[in-house]
Amino acid sequence: MKLLDQYVAACEVRRLAPRTTQIYRRWVEEFLRFHHKRTSEWIHPEEFLRQGKNRTGQPHCT
């Protein structure tokens, strides 16, 4: 199952309004496109976190 399909299924379980699901899905798509442009590869958000990077693509500060 693709990431966006998983997202829609999760929204259905949470009984979110269709318009809310649509708006949030758009945000997820934009987030993925933004990071694809920065890294030139598609990275699943879980993989992005496993690489030890934060939302900006920089290493986590300790």
The predicted model scores a pTM of 0.58
* 17 SS3 class: coil
Q: What is the pLDDT, as a whole number, of residue 15?
A: 94
Q: What is the pLDDT, as a whole number, of residue 55?
A: 56
pLDDT digits (tens, 9 = 90+) for 1-60: 687 888 889 999 999 999 999 998 999 888 888 877 776 777 766 776 676 655 555 555
Q: Residue 48 to residues 9, 22, 24, 25, 27: CA-CA distances in angstroms?
A: 22, 24, 20, 19, 17
Q: What is the pLDDT, as a whole number, of residue 14?
A: 94
Residue matched to tokens 């997820």? 28
* 34 SS3 class: helix
Q: What is the pLDDT, as a whole number, of residue 52?
A: 66
Q: What is the DSSP string of 29-59?
A: HHHHHHHHHHHSS---HHHHHHTTB-TTSSB
